[in-house]
Amino acid sequence: MSKTQNLIDNSRPLDLICMGRVAVDFYAEQVHSPLEDAQSFRKYLGGCAGNTAVGTARLGLNSAMFSCIGTDDMGVYLRNTLEKEGVDTSLLRSTAEHLTALVLLGVNPPERFPLIFYRENCADMQIQPEDADSEIFKKAKALLITGTGLSTPEMRAATRQAVKVAKECGCAVILDIDYRPVLWGLTEAGDGETRFVASEKVTREIQPFLADLDLIVGTEEEVQICAGKSVTDSAETLESCLSAIRQQSSATVVLKRGADGCEVYAPESEKPVSARSFQIEVLNVLGAGDAFMSGFLRGWLRKESLETCALYGNACGALVVTRHGCSPAAPSFAEIEYFIRHFDDAHNLAQQQQTFWSKMDQLHLRTEFRNLRREGHPQKMKLPLREELLILAFDHRTQFEDTCRENALSTDKITDFKDQVCKGFQNVRKSNNHKGLAILIDPEYGQNILTNSADADYTIGVPIEKAGSFPVEWLTEDSLYQQLLVRPANWFVKVLWHFHPEINPEDKNTQLAQLQKLNEVCAALKRKLMLELIIPDDFAKNESQVSSGKTMGEAMTEVYQASINPYWWKITALDTEEEWQTMTGVLDKYDPEVGVIILGNNAPIEQFERWFRVARSTPHTCGFAVGRSIFWEPWIKFAEGKITETEVSSMIAERYQQVINIWYNR
């Protein structure tokens, strides 16, 4: 631990205030394409300070965003994203007079990463000196400022006041040099890629802040601009740069060296501290520096050794360069622990690399999904490990169609009925403030419902499989990626999938291949996958009660070994605690956080009391998806003309509420 870390007051609840840039990044989806040829973009939260706020929050620190955003839709997006990530937004002001900043970015590894900043008089450059709230600063261990915050007279004044308040309140002060020549007006307006232009003016604006700093982080070029030394002058060495900084500051200086890791120069030591680096194939370097800062601060603010701080920083930077985007690529602490522990084993044994990266992908999806769940919850409220869902499932198709065919009815009757089922759900939702209420509805007969649910404050799931298909086929002939891309990102994807470890090899390979394809698309688009596992009838009827859990576990094992990682399993209830525990052993081994949803299987509602009670013997059980047990009797009566639409919705509401009451043991 360095002397500067002694300044950190562990009694303070807020670890870090991140002051500065927070913008919307639009990353080109076409890798290796020039930016001018990009056809589509993915939207992320970006900006140096914003990325660090998210990155440190994911690593377990309590961080706050100190900036300004527009009241435009992009500003709303940034605030919502920060809050979902658990970042405190008390210091995030909104302005109606300025637009939220945007950035276009290209990914052309290994060396070309063009970017264009759209920041003309933008919102995050409107921070005012009076925005530095001393009451919040008194709760914080440290303030992070960035070089861009010194690039205009107005922002220098705001940053100077923030540093003054921070020092008065006993906060450590950290500088991410974050030198972007274009933001200082030193390059053409569209040249965001150039990372260094020598400038005495930049040095003059940075150096007055050095005396108040406790930690300085930058690349070699950034350290040179901070010290006032020219990168083109070969006579100037790193030692002379550090000496120039030392004359004005007692801060610890961290020199980022890209693939070679970093060197940490503590004021009390003549030799730098370093940690191992991780040689890795690069996809995108644009978020690496902010990820490094997040990892380093995870150690530094917890008073870890400088070597440990460097190790965390190196690991975070290495992980993020393998991913698309900046803030969404940031790892959790569980990710970097696994990465550090298993990196060498995986890369020394080529056959283990696929397993290693599959596990890393699984851990990262959990990180992203866990934070998406935070919407509507207090920012640092501890959420349950698994997301509870109480689903009214009426995505059935073939059963409805059979009834219509048998009774010579138009299939329009199905649409009318489903509209009334949804009204019954809405009636229950109005009297329940539980966040887990959800519907599962198909686009074939439920498109009106989906169209009217764009701004729904409940969870929606939509099937992807063609009804009754085996091997599984998709709803339409369109690209699977395109089918899911056009759906709202917060709709989960359900697939009904027949499988048994002993089905014939051809069907098994087809089923697994189709599911792998779906899993890959869901992972790429960050969609939650609910896998409804159905044991085929000709196998299920031969299973004893004791062996059902074993069979289910064996089927799940094959899924996991194929690198398929559902967010939820949806399964028929098992009859005994012994069966549940057999299956639980498999889930604990492959995905301790996965949830299990119990399907109703058209059983009498009275049956659920025992099923739910037995199912709670495993911590994975987190909800139900009940359909025909609720709607089948009303459907038959409606099809026969014995009840009205109003009576349908009333019956649905009563039965759905009854199942909810049983779930909560009311």
HEC letters along 539-564:
HHCCCCHHHHHHHHHHHHHHHHHCCC
Task: Assess whether pLDDT exceeds 80 at residue 478.
Answer: yes
* Mean pLDDT, residues 45-65: 98
pLDDT at 426 over 60: yes
Does residue 62 carry a pLDDT above 50?
yes
In 266-400 the beta strands, taken as DSSP E runs, fall at: 389-393
- Over residues 354-412, the pLDDT tens digits come to 889 989 999 999 999 876 555 544 455 455 568 899 999 999 999 999 999 999 999 99
Identify which of 467, 460, 439 has the alpha carbon closest to the alpha carbon of residue 652: 439
For residues 296 and 312, the answer to whether their CB atoms sit within 8 Å is yes
pLDDT at 231 over 70: no
C-beta neighbour count of 233 within 10 angstroms: 11
pLDDT at 346: 80
Q: What would the mean pLDDT of 22-45 be, rounded to a whole number?
A: 95
Domains and CATH numbers, the chain: 4-21+48-94+124-331 (3.40.1190.20), 389-663 (3.20.20.70)
Structure tokens at 284: 């995108």
Task: Please say if the pLDDT value at position 540 is more than 90.
Answer: no
Written as one letter, the residue type at 4 is T
478 contact partners, CB below 8 Å, separation of at least 6: none
β-partners of residue 251 are none
- DSSP SS3 for 213: coil
pLDDT band of residue 235 (cuts 50, 70, 90) is very low
Residue 482: CB atoms within 10 A of its CB come to: 10
Write the pLDDT tens digit of every residue in 214-225. 999 999 999 999
Distance CA 540, CA 543 (A): 5
202 vs 182: CA distance, rounded Å: 12
Instruction: Report which secondary-structure segment, H or E, holds 582.
Output: helix 577-590
Assign 559 a pLDDT band (cuts: 50, 70, 90).
very high
Burial class (CB in 10 A: 0-12, 13-18, 19+), 29: middle
Q: How confident is the model at residue 229 (pLDDT cuts 50, 70, 90)?
A: confident
Section 566-590 average pLDDT: 94
Q: What pLDDT is attached to residue 371?
A: 65
Nearest to 57 by CA among 294, 323, 287: 294
Distance CA 173, CA 159 (A): 11
Counting residues of the chain whose pLDDT is more than 70, the rounded percentage is: 94
DSSP 326: S
Average pLDDT on 485-491 reads 93
Residue 370, sorted as left (phi over 0), alpha (psi -120 to 50) or beta, turns out to be: alpha
Q: What is the mean pLDDT of residues 519-523?
A: 95
pLDDT at 563: 93
Predicted confidence (pLDDT) at residue 171 exceeds the cutoff of 70? yes
Average pLDDT in the chain = 92
Backbone φ and ψ for 650, nearest 5 degrees, come out as -65, -45
Q: Give the pLDDT mean for 278-305.
A: 95
Closest CA to 162 of 2, 273, 18, 366: 18
Q: In this structure, what token pair is assigned to residue 1?
A: 């631990």
In this predicted structure, the answer to whether residue 234 has a pLDDT above a threshold of 70 is: no
Share of the chain above pLDDT 90, in %: 84
Q: What token pair was written down for 81?
A: 């994203």
Cα distance between residue 557 and residue 566, in whole Å: 12
287/108 Cα distance (integer angstroms): 14
DSSP string across 86-125 = T-B-TTEEEESSSPPPEEEE--BTTTB--EEEE-TT-GGG
Q: How many residues in total does the chain contain? A: 666
- Most distant CA pair in the chain: distance in Å? 94
Q: What radius of gyration, in Å, describes the C-alpha atoms of the chain?
A: 28
Q: Extract the tokens encoding 258.
A: 């890209």
Give the pLDDT score at 387.
86
pLDDT of residue 395: 97
Q: What is the DSSP string of 257-298?
A: -GGG-EEEE-TT-SS-B---------S--TTHHHHHHHHHHH
Sheet holding 115-118, edge to edge: 41-46, 23-28, 102-105, 115-118
**What whole-number distance in Å separates Cα of residue 578 and Cα of residue 624?**
20
Please give the pLDDT value at position 392. Answer: 98
* DSSP 8-state secondary structure symbol assigned to residue 205: H
**Residues 663 and 390 sit within 8 Å (Cβ to Cβ):** yes
CA dihedral in degrees (650, 655, 661, 666; nearest 10)?
A: 90
pLDDT reading at 622 higher than 90 = yes
Tokens of 243: 């000496």
Q: Which of 183, 216, 222 is nearest to 203 (CA)?
A: 222
Query: Higher model confidence: residue 369 or residue 653?
Result: 653
Give the tens place of pLDDT for each residue, 70-117: 999 999 999 999 999 999 999 999 999 999 999 999 998 888 899 999
What does each C-alpha distance from 580 to 226, 549, 576, 598 come to in angstroms? 61, 6, 7, 12
Q: Which of 136, 105, 85, 98 is nearest to 31 (CA)?
A: 105
Mean local confidence (pLDDT), 53-74: 98
Lowest mean pLDDT among 160-169, 369-378, 426-435: 369-378
Write down the pLDDT at residue 372.
59
The tokens describing 617, both together, are: 């013997």
Q: Is the pLDDT of residue 232 over 60?
A: no
Half-sphere exposure at residue 3, Cβ-oriented, CA atoms within 13 angstroms: 10
State which amino acid sits at residue 518. Answer: L
The average pLDDT across 601-626 equals 94
